Amino acid sequence: QGRVSLPGEWRCEGENSSFVALPEGADALVLMSEEAFLSFFTELQKLSLADPALRLAGARLGSLARNCRCDRQGRLTLCKTQLESVGIAKNIKLIGAVTHIRICSPEKWDPDTVDSKVSSALTIVEKSSNDNGALAALIEGVLP
């Protein structure tokens, strides 16, 4: 049914645990708090005023984003179409990633592959002299 239970420490305080789910390529979904997503999207909109490619990226992100809200038991209902688009049929793996939650099928979570990608990502962040470079890297990672 597309429902997944989130650990209590990953939910917001009170009853307002609202998230936004985005596909991360063809392998996973990224689940961000609604607040974090809106902050990210606000920064993207500021940058996109002068850049048609960023405006297009913002439109694409907006079309892929789906709101999810926890029920009283801490369960989220994820969009079936999104789950299918990243190859999730039955079992899922939840990975806490500091600013977001990564959702994928257990077969697509290979720690060795992830370690090499982490190294590459850290290099990109280190070379970025400001948040714009990190923002561009995130957009490249989210968009197919």
Predicted confidence at residue 15, as pLDDT, reads: 58
Predicted confidence at residue 138, as pLDDT, reads: 58
Q: Which of 93, 119, 111 minimizes the C-alpha distance to 31? A: 93
Of the CA atoms within 13 Å of residue 62, those in its CB half-sphere come to 11
Other Cβ atoms closer than 10 A to 66: 16
Token duo for residue 82: 């999104």
Q: Distance between CA 56 and CA 63 in Å, rounded?
A: 11
Q: Distance between CA 28 and CA 80 in Å, rounded?
A: 13
- 10-residue averages of pLDDT along the chain (144 residues): 78 73 87 88 82 86 88 86 87 83 81 60 55 57 51
Predicted confidence at residue 66, as pLDDT, reads: 93
Predicted confidence at residue 67, as pLDDT, reads: 92
Predicted confidence at residue 144, as pLDDT, reads: 46
Model confidence, pTM:
0.70
Predicted confidence at residue 131, as pLDDT, reads: 54
CA 13 to chain centre: 20
Predicted confidence at residue 137, as pLDDT, reads: 59
